[in-house]
Amino acid sequence: MAGESGMARKVALLLWAQTLGLAGAQTTQLLVEPPWRPAVLWDRVTLTCQGSGTDSATTWYRNGQHWGQEGRDQFKVTDRGIYQCYRLGSRFSPAMSILDDLLVLQVPARALLEGDTVTLHCRGRQDNPVTRVRFYRDMKDLGRSLTGTELSLSPLQLNHSGIYRCRGWVGSGISQSPPVRVKVHAPGPLRPRAPLLYVFHRDGQVVGGSQGSPQLLVPAVGVSHSGNYSCQVRSEGGNVRKSSTQLRITVRSECGDGHGVSPETPGIPCLVPVANATITPGPLAHQVHAGDNVTLCCSVQVGSAPVTFTWLHNGQEVAQGPLLELTDIDVGHSGTYQCVATNQLGQDGHRVFRALSPELALEVTPGSAWLTAARKSQDR
User: Alpha-carbon distance 119 to 79, whole Å?
Assistant: 27
pLDDT score of 75: 86
pLDDT score of 70: 65
User: Alpha-carbon distance 183 to 160, whole Å?
Assistant: 8
Q: Is the pLDDT of residue 98 over 70?
A: yes
User: Alpha-carbon distance 23 to 308, whole Å?
Assistant: 57
User: Alpha-carbon distance 120 to 166, whole Å?
Assistant: 10
DSSP structure class, residue 190: P
Neighbours of 241 (CB within 10 A): 21
Strand ranges inside 203-239, DSSP E: 205-211, 216-218, 227-235
Q: What is the mean pLDDT of residues 262-271?
A: 50
Q: How many domains does the chain have?
A: 1
Neighbours of 150 (CB within 10 A): 15
Domain membership of residue 320 (yes or no) is yes
pLDDT score of 168: 92
More confident residue, 172 or 53: 172
Of the candidates 271, 295, 268, which has an alpha carbon nearest to the alpha carbon of residue 281? 295
3-state DSSP helix/strand/coil percent for the chain, to nearest 5?
Answer: 5, 50, 45
147-151, 242-246, 323-327, 366-370: least confidently modelled range: 366-370
Q: What is the mean pLDDT of residues 55-74?
A: 77
Domain membership of residue 327 (yes or no) is yes
CATH number, domain containing residue 332: 2.60.40.10
Q: What is the mean pLDDT of residues 146-151?
A: 81
pLDDT digits (tens, 9 = 90+) for 167-199: 999 988 899 999 999 999 887 654 445 567 778
User: Which structural domain range is residue 334 located in?
Assistant: 275-379
Q: What is the mean pLDDT of residues 228-249?
A: 72
User: Alpha-carbon distance 204 to 229, whole Å?
Assistant: 8
Domain membership of residue 35 (yes or no) is no
Q: Is the pTM of this model over 0.85?
A: no
User: Alpha-carbon distance 358 to 256, whole Å?
Assistant: 29
Looking at every residue in the chain, the average pLDDT score rounds to 75
pLDDT digits (tens, 9 = 90+) for 26-39: 457 888 999 999 99
Domain membership of residue 244 (yes or no) is no
73-82, 95-104, 196-205, 252-261: least confidently modelled range: 252-261
Domain membership of residue 344 (yes or no) is yes
Q: What is the mean pLDDT of residues 243-267?
A: 57
Domain membership of residue 191 (yes or no) is no
Q: What is the mean pLDDT of residues 133-154?
A: 86
Q: Is the pLDDT of residue 200 over 60?
A: yes
Q: Is the pLDDT of residue 278 over 50?
A: yes
The pLDDT confidence band at residue 346, using thresholds 50, 70 and 90, is low
Q: Is the pLDDT of residue 50 over 60?
A: yes
Of the candidates 215, 226, 212, which has an alpha carbon nearest to the alpha carbon of residue 16? 215
67-81, 193-207, 272-286: least confidently modelled range: 272-286
Domain membership of residue 370 (yes or no) is yes
Q: Is the pLDDT of residue 208 over 80?
A: no
Beta pairing, strands 323-326 & 294-302: antiparallel
pLDDT score of 304: 77
Domain membership of residue 246 (yes or no) is no
Of the candidates 378, 269, 256, which has an alpha carbon nearest to the alpha carbon of residue 3? 256
